[in-house]
């Protein structure tokens, strides 16, 4: 089980894991299908590996502007050449782009209702639930949401299923608020981090200029690009003709020197 969890943690495919365990892919798939603990170890290991990778990315983003740019592309909708007018973007969502306060989006469709097994469960009886709405669980949910984990990854990190986690968020208001506010806090902290990097890194300053100031890599020289191209060609021709005339003058000077030495 530990080997399976470790191989899943480093995001191995089933074929790679089967090769590491000296078995065939079909044999390994059948083993996961027959043994529930092995299948749970495989699924939870993959989720744990993704969560740890997200933690490493956010940790590196505090020192690396390149990683902060990459996370901005993933979670803030930033692009290399944004097409939307940045001023219009600022006017539409000022709380998200001007200061660091999070912009709360409208809630989508609520998750599916909890199953009948959960509804029949009495507070004091039945089997123990996998998730308990305590302070420790709320803090874990907020942290997982802050690093922009998906619900599937958060459920795997909490050793629960995705449906169980969705039902838990649907039933407990504090957990749902922690999840939503954690995602907003993560995006706001990423924006603060980008602005902090822009004070020292020219690359980050250029990137934020593209996103919020409407700056682009290509700039127009004048009012008419065709006229500008003709002027550039004329200047290049003049420079070429000037170089040729200088070379002719040098040749004439050398010829006169040679004629003078012959006459003497």
Whether residue 164 sits in one domain with residue 92: yes
In this structure, the answer to whether residues 168 and 206 fall within a common structural domain is yes
Per residue in 107-125, pLDDT (tens digit) is 445 555 455 554 445 455 5
Q: Rounded to whole angstroms, how far apart are CA atoms 83 and 261?
A: 71
Kindly tell me the sign of the dihedral angle through the C-alpha atoms of 158, 161, 166, 172. negative
Shared domain for 91 and 140, answered yes or no, is yes
Predicted local confidence at residue 180, as pLDDT: 93
Query: Residues near 21 by Cβ (< 8 Å), separated by ≥ 6?
Result: 3, 4, 7, 28
If one counts the domains in the chain, the total is 2
Q: Do 56 and 148 share a structural domain?
A: yes
CA atoms within 13 A on the CB side of 22: 0
| 134 and 263 in a common domain | no
User: Poorest-confidence range of 5-19, 76-90, 140-154, 236-250?
Assistant: 76-90
Secondary structure in 3-state letters for the chain = CHHHHHHHHCCCCHHHHHHHCCCCHHHHHHHHHHCHHHHHHHHHHHHHHHHHHHHHHHHHHCCCHHHHHHHHHHHCCCCCCCCCCHHHHHHHCHHHHCCCCCCCCCCCCCCCCCCHHHHHCCCCCCCCCCCCCCHHHHHHHHHHHHCCCCHHHHHHHCCCCHHHHHHHHHHCHHHHHHHHHHHHHHHHHHHHHHHHHHCCCHHHHHHHHHHHCCCCCCCCCCCCHHHHHHHHHHHHHHHHHHHHHHHHHHHHHHHHHHHHHHHC
pLDDT digits (tens, 9 = 90+) for 221-246: 555 565 566 667 777 777 777 777 77
What is the overall mean pLDDT for the chain?
A: 78
Q: Is the pLDDT of residue 141 over 90?
A: yes
The whole-angstrom separation of Cα 39 and Cα 136 is 27
The answer to the question of residue 261 being in a domain is yes
Q: Is residue 135 part of a domain?
A: yes
Residues 241 and 151 in one domain: no
Residue 235 covered by a domain: yes
Q: Is residue 36 part of a domain?
A: no
Q: Tell me which residue of 86, 120, 39, 61 sits closest to 208, measured CA to CA.
A: 86
Q: Is residue 21 part of a domain?
A: no
Under 8 Å CB-to-CB from 206, ≥6 apart: which residues?
215
In terms of domains, do 148 and 96 share one?
A: yes
> 199 and 231: one domain?
no
136: Cβ–Cβ under 8 A, 6 or more apart, which residues? Answer: none
Could you tell me if residue 31 is inside a domain? no
Do 252 and 134 share a domain, yes or no? no
The parent domain of residue 250 ranges over 227-264
- Examine residue 19 and state whether it is found in any structural domain, yes or no: no
Residue 264: pLDDT band with limits 50, 70, 90: low
- Regarding whether 78 and 137 lie in a shared domain, the answer is yes
Q: Is residue 185 part of a domain?
A: yes
Residue 158 has pLDDT above 60, yes or no: yes
Pair (140, 263) in one structural domain: no
Same domain, 68 and 189: yes
Q: What is the pTM of this model?
A: 0.61
């Amino acid at each position: 089980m530990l080997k399976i969890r470790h191989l899943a943690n480093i995001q191995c495919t089933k074929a790679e894991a089967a090769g590491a365990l000296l078995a065939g892919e079909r044999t390994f798939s059948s083993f996961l299908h027959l043994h529930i603990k092995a299948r749970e170890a495989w699924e939870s290991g993959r989720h744990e590996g993704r969560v740890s990778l997200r933690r490493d990315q956010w940790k590196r983003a505090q020192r690396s502007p390149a990683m902060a740019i990459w996370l901005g592309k993933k979670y803030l909708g930033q692009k290399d050449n944004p097409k939307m007018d940045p001023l219009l973007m600022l006017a539409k969502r000022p709380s998200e782009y001007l200061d660091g306060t999070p912009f709360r989006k409208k809630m989508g469709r609520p998750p599916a209702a909890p199953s009948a097994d959960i509804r029949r469960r009495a507070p004091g009886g039945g089997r123990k639930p996998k998730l308990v709405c305590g302070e420790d669980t709320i803090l874990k949910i907020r942290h997982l949401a802050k690093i922009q984990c998906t619900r599937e990854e958060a459920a795997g990190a909490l050793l629960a299923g995705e449906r169980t986690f969705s039902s838990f968020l649907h039933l407990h208001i504090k957990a749902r608020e922690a999840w939503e506010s954690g995602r907003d806090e993560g995006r706001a902290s990423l924006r603060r981090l980008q602005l902090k990097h822009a004070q020292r890194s020219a690359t980050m300053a250029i990137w934020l200029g593209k996103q919020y100031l409407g700056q682009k890599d290509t700039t127009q020289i004048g009012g008419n690009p065709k006229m500008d191209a003709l002027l550039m060609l004329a200047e290049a021709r003049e420079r070429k003709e000037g170089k040729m005339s200088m070379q002719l003058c040098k040749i004439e000077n050398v010829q006169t020197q040679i004629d003078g030495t012959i006459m003497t």
